[in-house]
Structure 1
Amino acid sequence: MIAPVILPPIALRPPAAHRRLLLVDDEPNILAALNRLLRRDGYEVFCADSGAAGLEVLSKHCVDVIVSDQRMPGMLGVDFLRQARALWPDSIRIMLSGYTELQSVTDAVNEGAIFKFLTKPWNDTQLRGHIAEGFRIKEIADDNQRLHLEIRSANRKLEQLLLEKQEQIRLEETALEVARDLMEHLPLALVGVDDSGMIAFANACARRLFGAQVAVLGAAEDVHLARPASQARDIHNNLYDIARYQMGERSASRGTLLTFVPRQTYE
């Protein structure tokens, strides 16, 4: 049985319906200024005054872009962004700070915790541009992930259909083998003739009756198969009634199945 595809939460979100932004800064006036500036771009903005509060927001909401200060009491911005990456690894994380602790920031950038480092005071136009770029990158990544998952799901469905088809073929082959075994051991001469008049099948009883004439599959003219079945045929000084059954009414088979019944069976 093929295991179902389990979609990550981020792939279950509708594409770009809401652009969710989290702002984290311990200074209320900066947080309010950023909120006013960025709401005009249509983002759904969440605000937090500490790293711990920011993590609380992330535990309840899927956020696309995170903008965090560096110097905050209790938890530095780089530490908060590292934990944010653990919760939402696909989020775009931006640091906005007036302090330049190059070593800690560089380490966070190198390990992928920070996408961009911006300095205070900020330029409104540039800040909005950087955040808009972050959303675009996030949405492209989301679209790629959704496409990948859709392809995986389609491939799994194709694999399931293939397995079902293979099972159907196996069952049909088994049924065909059973039917051949039954025909092989029937105490009645059976001969299958294809549309071109060639012998395609002869069971054991038919091989005993006709001998070398049907031992090798081939032309049917020499075993009374091409003539009309309007009367009994004399085969080895015995009368046989030949009945013809056209194949293909209930299957994809083509040709004719002939039975040779000794006349004395009816006497």
Structure 2
Amino acid sequence: MTEIPQISRIILLVDDEINIINALKRTLRCDNYTILTANSGEEGLALLAMHEVGVIIADQRMPHMTGVEFLRKVKTLYPKTLRIVLSGYTELESVTSAINEGAIYKFLTKPWDDDLLRDNIRNAFQHYEMEQENLRLTLELQSTNDELSMLNQNLEQKVVDKTREIMHSINLLQISQEILEHLPIGIIGIDEHNMIVASNRRAEALFCRAPNACLLGLIAGEALPEALLQLLQKAYSSNFAQYDGGIVALNESVSTHVLISAMGDTSQSKGTIIALSPLKN
């Protein structure tokens, strides 16, 4: 069973007879309650406005405002407070309707049995504290749910934003690829491991003899002609940023102007770009 945190137990005693108030205080002196007293319903309401009272004991027979009238007002203003009325057997009819409508938690007769009175008050406080704890847990749960809902909304928005960003990047990549494919010169990209990692249609047309063949993934030393490989070696040995290889004959029918650029100084990627401008024979 969940242990309910112990809080200060405040009880309000309302009776116009001082001797009854004192007798109740003597009965409860060993129970460690904070005891407030009032001699009328009006005084009781004033104390309730200043203190968080858990249990009220009110005498039924009081001038100006009876115990039931007082507790009916308490129910409206402080519905969680547990309300006990003290009354004689002869006044039972006057409190029956209040009991039925829930304005009164317990009806105890005078003279009271001390042990029975203390047990009823103890049970009333346990009931009150359980209600308060349930309220606290409900509010805590609601707060947690609100936080989770806000986190979910933020996460969903981040997913939407990230998806939009990815789609934008994909669109830019597609446009860049289309531009690369439609350039009037051949472009070949070679990475640090001498692998061809980029090429456009113009470059494929220059070096791929078989239909639907592709340069991507091939080792440059195995896929490119010897004349172009020799230019690459000269560029590498010259510690180049950009190397103009001049006009190179790729074969008997095709010559091209070769420009070799190094990547890495102004980009995150490292490697080599070869630009090939075929010449018309």
- Give runs of aligned pairs for residues 36-75 of structure 1, distance below 5 A: 36-75=26-65
Number of residues of Structure 1 aligned to a counterpart in Structure 2 = 218
Q: 1:34 to 1:183 in 2, by over 3 A?
A: same
Are 1:188 and 2:180 matched, yes or no?
A: yes
Q: Report the equivalent of 2:209.
A: none
Give structure 1 stretches of 5+ with no counterpart: 1-13, 191-201, 211-220, 250-255
Q: Report the equivalent of 2:137.
A: 147
Question: For 2:128 and 2:91, how far apart are their aligned partners in 1?
Answer: 27
TM-score, normalised to structure 1, is 0.70
- Give runs of aligned pairs for residues 173-252 of structure 1, distance below 5 A: 173-186=163-176, 187-189=179-181, 222-229=213-220
CA contact 2:215–2:223 (8 Å) conserved in 1: no
Q: Report the equivalent of 1:101.
A: 91
Question: For 1:67 and 1:207, how far apart are their aligned partners in 2?
Answer: 95
The one of 11, 25, 40 aligned to 2:15: 25
Question: For 1:84 and 1:169, how far apart are their aligned partners in 2?
Answer: 52
Are 1:263 and 2:253 matched, yes or no?
A: no
Question: For 1:98 and 1:207, how far apart are their aligned partners in 2?
Answer: 106
Pairwise CA distance, 1:88 = 1.5
Residue identity over aligned pairs, in percent, reads 42
SS at 1:224's partner residue? coil
Give structure 2 stretches of 5+ with no counterpart: 182-186, 188-197, 205-211, 226-253
Q: 1:148 to 1:77 in 2, by over 3 A?
A: same
Pairwise CA distance, 1:24 = 0.5
Q: 1:116 to 1:229 in 2, by over 3 A?
A: farther
Question: For 1:151 and 1:233, how far apart are their aligned partners in 2?
Answer: 68
The one of 96, 109, 121 aligned to 2:111: 121
Pairwise CA distance, 1:226 = 2.4
SS at 1:223's partner residue? coil
Q: 1:99 to 1:76 in 2, by over 3 A?
A: farther
Q: Which residue identity is paired with 1:71? A: R
Structure with greater Cα Rg: 2
Are 1:86 and 2:76 matched, yes or no?
A: yes
CA contact 1:70–1:95 (8 Å) conserved in 2: yes
Q: Which residue identity is paired with 1:183? A: L
Identify which range, 96-105 or 51-60, moves more after superposition: 96-105
Question: For 1:70 and 1:98, how far apart are their aligned partners in 2?
Answer: 8
SS at 1:264's partner residue? strand
Q: Which residue identity is paired with 2:170? A: R
Pairwise CA distance, 1:142 = 1.4
Pairwise CA distance, 1:262 = 4.6
Question: For 2:218 and 2:33, how far apart are their aligned partners in 1?
Answer: 87
Pairwise CA distance, 1:20 = 0.5
Q: Which residue identity is paired with 2:49? A: S
Question: For 1:181 and 1:95, how far apart are their aligned partners in 2?
Answer: 78
CA contact 2:84–2:107 (8 Å) conserved in 1: yes
Question: For 1:37 and 1:240, how far apart are their aligned partners in 2?
Answer: 105
SS at 2:49's partner residue? helix
Q: Which residue identity is paired with 1:82? A: R
Pairwise CA distance, 1:55 = 0.4
Q: Aligned-residue CA RMSD in angstroms?
A: 3.7
